[in-house]
Structure formats: structure tokens, C-alpha cells
Amino acid sequence: MSVMELFDLRGKRALVTGASSGIGRSVALAYVEAGAELAIAARNLDTLEVLAEEIAAAGGRAVPIACDVTRQDQVTAMVARATEQLGGIDIAVCNAGIVSVTPLLDMPLEEFERVQNTNVIGVFLTAQAAAKAMVGQGRGGSIITTASMSGRIVNIPQQVGHYCTSKAAVIHLTKAMAVEFAPHGIRVNSISPGYIMTELVEPLAQYHRLWEPKIPLGRIGRSEELTGLYLYLASAASSYMTGSDLVIDGGYCLP
């Protein structure tokens, strides 16, 4: 098999959550370009339908599905519809996530729980449902979770202790799933981005000038700069990789 064939996703069916914007949107577009058929999921169906139209205009196929990943019934329905519409599922990208800036001393329990529910429980429910579908198919598959460098370090100066907690949990949950799903031929890996200019980061403009001097590459990243890594983990090129957390942060975590 040639190098280019290793990265080819033609004939593969992928589910991407959090696909309406940011990293998820960029990953969805990259997977279509690589040949995959998609199910794209998020809370906002209108935005997903616009993306699906854009993908169709480029010659690809994407099935938009409204889903709140904190609701098990909606996640189950999402995976069922994705497998029905696409004829199966080979790749699942558990990408939906949220963040807010609140000091832990002042943080209401409800806010802490809200971040854990989306960032951790949402990943668990999506990965579990996708893995069950993959086991039923008997062909294995690849599950990719979006963690964060915040699962390895504590962000300064913004106060996001609940977010750091959630992403550390995602990294370790990914490793546990990798061990348990391996006998079924399902690989599970996480990607830990650094500061990437997405809709989650744009509102934190007051911090941008403080971050950039600490990033060896001297700038905040772009979501499309992550897509090669998501493609690698989805493809046959990473067939011997599971349980890994890959950091892509412009060197932020090095000092």
C-alpha cells in the first residue's frame, strides 16, 4: 500500500460531533476531502445543514443530526441514524466541548457540572455508542477524542479549573477505552490542541496577547492545522496506534 493510500478514507463512514464550528467543522471538511462519508452532529441543526450543503456542493455527503451529547437518548439516536444513513460507522470523532472562565472559589456547582457533562460525559456516551456499533459490525474502527493541553497543564492567567479537570478526564478515559476496546479491533486516541483560534477562544481576546509570547511558534494556531492529525488517527496510517494522547500546541507545553 502506498503512503497516499494509507491516508485514503474512501469507503469509510465517519461521525463528527461538535461539527457546527471550529475544530469539528474543519475535521468534517478534511474527512470529506479524504473521501469519507459523514454524519455531522451538534446542537444547532441550522448550522449543520449549511455545512452539509457546502459539503454536497463540493461533491461529498454529510448527514446533519441535531444532538445534545449530554443526553444518552439523543446520543443513541444519533449513532443509530448515522449507521442507518451511512450503512455503518468506521470513525467517530468525539469533539463536542465547552468552556467558560470562572474562578474556582466563585464557581457554582451547576457550572462545574455543565462543563463535565459536555466535555466528559458527552465523550463517554458518544464513544460508547459508536463502539457498540463498531463491535456489532465486526470490522473494528477508530475513535478520536478531542482533549486539550489543559488536561496536562493549568492555564494561566484565565481561570478554567473545571475545563482543565474535564480534559484530564478525557485523556485518561481515552486510555481506558483503548485497553477495553482493543480486543474488538477498535483503536482509541486523543488529540490535545493548544490555543487554537475557534469560537471558544475568540471571546477570550483579553488573553491572546498574554499567550502568544509563551508559545514558541509565536502565535495562536488555526483549526485547519489540526486536521492532518485527525486524518492520521482516522486512517490506516495509524493502524498500530491506540491509547495515545497527541499534543499539538505550537510548543506551549515545552518550557
**pLDDT tens, per residue, the chain with 255 residues:** 899 899 999 999 999 999 999 999 999 999 999 999 999 999 999 999 999 999 999 899 999 999 999 999 999 999 999 999 999 999 999 999 999 999 999 999 999 999 999 999 999 999 999 999 999 999 999 999 999 999 999 999 999 999 999 999 999 999 999 999 999 999 999 999 999 998 778 877 788 888 999 999 999 999 999 999 999 999 999 999 999 999 999 999 997
Which residue among the candidates 20, 166, 167, 195 is catalytic per the annotation? 167
Q: Which amino acid is at 157?
A: P
How confident is the model at residue 4, as a pLDDT?
A: 87
Q: How do beta strands 62-66 and 37-42 pair?
A: parallel
Which CATH code of 3.40.50.1980, 3.20.20.80, 2.60.40.1260, 3.40.50.720 fits the domain covering 3-248? Answer: 3.40.50.720
Q: Which of 12, 20, 142, 163 is catalytic?
A: 163
pTM over 0.85: yes
Catalytic residue among 142, 148, 166, 190: 148
**213, 80, 196: which is closest to 149 by C-alpha?**
196
Catalytic residue flag (residue 167): yes
CB-neighbour burial class of residue 161 (10 A; exposed 0-12, middle 13-18, buried 19+): middle
Task: Show me where the domains of the chain are located.
Answer: 3-248
How far apart are alpha carbons 147 and 127 in whole angstroms? 13
Q: If you search the block for the grid coordinates 459508536, which residue do you land on?
A: 130
Closest CA to 178 of 227, 230, 233, 231: 233
Take residue 3 and report the three cell numbers written for it.
Answer: 503512503
Q: What is the pLDDT of residue 1?
A: 80
163 is catalytic: yes
Q: How does pLDDT run across 77-104, given as a tens digit for each residue?
A: 999 999 999 999 999 999 999 999 999 9
> What confidence score (pLDDT) does residue 206 get?
83
Q: What is the pLDDT of residues 94-152, one digit of tens each?
A: 999 999 999 999 999 999 999 999 999 999 999 999 999 999 999 999 999 999 999 99
**Nearest by Cα to 26 from 6, 12, 43, 40:** 40
Residue 162 · residue 104 · CB < 8 Å: yes
- What is the model's pLDDT at position 33? 96
What are the C-alpha distances in Å from 162 to residues 75, 122, 153, 217, 243?
A: 23, 15, 13, 27, 23
Q: What is the pLDDT of residue 255?
A: 73
